[in-house]
Structure 1
Amino acid sequence: MDVCLLIRQRLAELELEQKDLAAAAEVTESYVSQLLARKKMPPAPDRTDIYEKMSRLLKLPPGKLSKLADLQRKDELKKSLSDPPAPLFKEVRELILRKCSPAREAQIRAIFEKQPFGELERLVTQKLLDVVKKVAQEELESENWLRLVARMSRRSYEDMRVIVLEFLDTDVFNVSVENCVSFMDPLIESWDVDLASFGMEIVLNRRLAPGHSKRFEFVERPPDQPLKEEPGLREFLRDTSLSSGAAEEEIEFLKRLRFKEKHPTPLYYYRELQNLRDPLHFRGPVTGNAARKG
């Protein structure tokens, strides 16, 4: 049994209508109708609150609808993985470019047009989605916030809840024009990207987002080098008169000590262990009085 079938069954058993379900979930009746007609994919359980609201009305065990939705989504995902990703809608790309820093827009536009839905366009779109989704997820339970966004988009509260729920459920390959025009547009003020480091800065609408600016950096790091164990450390660990009682985290600390030319003796590691354990060698947390005295 899938989500739609179970919901329909419970509506019939309880003599309820779709409008009752829509009111309970605080969404439009049209959204419920499309969901039950399988014209819309059930939203991901971790990105929505409608299953909990619907379950209360339908008198279903907690988590029942969420579990069915998760299974149904996984089945649909398996079917869609073989399909090649479609390029962004023209209107979506135009909105993203319009929000780009004016100093960089022409350069970014040329790259987007030369490589439609290439690495840079996917990177930028994904980061914009991630940031706006985070705001939406945090504010989903705030009726005041939803009404503010709805007013800015000239929509009803219920319409905006549907838009947010659908937006939370989208991804970079399926972002729609409506997602952008109704939601991303009012939240994102501007964005910029450093084409050398691919670091991004995203500026959000101050009225709608608690964090005005978000910055993302992509830093190349060398791979961790394997730790070469010092002969003196091996001897120290074998000699129980020196290493007895050493905790795992203490041994790990000793292993990470590095020396360029000299090679320490087992006695060195013993003394290092004692230094590590001696409270006189470490400062405790600074209290308010101590801070004022300084």
Structure 2
Amino acid sequence: MDVYAPMTKFLKLHRNDLPTCAKAERDGETKSKRRPHPEIRDQFLALHLDQARARLLARRLARKDGVMLERVVVGRLLEVAQGFVRRQLDDDVGIRIAASRDGCTYLEMRMKLMEFLDATPEGLTPEDGEEFVRPRIAGWDIDLDTHAMRIVLRSQDPAPRQVRALSI
């Protein structure tokens, strides 16, 4: 469905103004040279499967031309974590349990999840990395020539305390 026509009419703009602005904004986002937060880079490098290669990769990312590689790595890991969060949004009971565990309301937890879905590699905070990315990704590796990534997910096995509660 084309949302630009009703929005353009409501805002009383010329019929091509809104799509043109949206396209320019999307193009500007992809060509951004801003780096993700340095702590995010450190958190994600700590998840690398081979720590020797992680140190080599850290040096490569620190170079001036490492911006695009860093965006690829952070962007792909962010996409994987956002996929988990999308599935979590469908589980109302799980959100209620997580909200009570974190000491917030159902709506606050749901908003937190939805805000994470809007995150970009540049806007990702270290708290987002700790709360959403690290619990879901066990490790990753990248082929520096092709930028193909291998991402190992964490097991969804219940924690030992949960196993004990389930066995009663």
Same fold judged by TM-score > 0.5? yes
Q: Name the TM-score, length of structure 1 as normaliser.
A: 0.40
Q: How does 1:164-179 map to 2 (within 5 A)?
A: 164-179=113-128
Q: How does 1:15-94 map to 2 (within 5 A)?
A: 78=24, 81=28, 84-94=32-42
User: What secondary structure sits across from 1:118 in the alignment?
Assistant: helix
2:131 aligned partner, one-letter code: S
The residue aligned with 1:182 is: 131
Judging changes above 3 Å, is the alpha-carbon distance between structure 1 residues 128 and 158 closer, same or farther for their aligned structure 2 residues? Answer: same
The residue aligned with 2:89 is: 140
Name the larger-Rg structure: 1
The residue aligned with 1:232 is: none
Q: CA offset at residue 87 of structure 1?
A: 1.5
1:201 has 2:136 as partner: no
Q: Name the TM-score, length of structure 2 as normaliser.
A: 0.65
Aligned counterpart in structure 2 of residue 106 of structure 1, from 21, 30, 55: 55
User: What secondary structure sits across from 1:173 in the alignment?
Assistant: coil
Compare 79-88 and 132-141 and name the one that shifted more. Answer: 79-88
The structure showing larger relative contact order (alpha-carbon pairs under 8 Å, at least 6 residues apart) is 2
| Separation in structure 2 between the aligned mates of residue 206 and residue 86 of structure 1, nearest angstrom | 33
Judging changes above 3 Å, is the alpha-carbon distance between structure 1 residues 108 and 184 closer, same or farther for their aligned structure 2 residues? Answer: same
Q: Structure 1 stretches of 5 or more lacking a match?
A: 1-63, 209-294
| Separation in structure 2 between the aligned mates of residue 143 and residue 178 of structure 1, nearest angstrom | 23
1:188 aligned partner, one-letter code: I
Q: CA RMSD in A?
A: 3.5
| Separation in structure 2 between the aligned mates of residue 148 and residue 162 of structure 1, nearest angstrom | 15
Identical positions, percent: 24
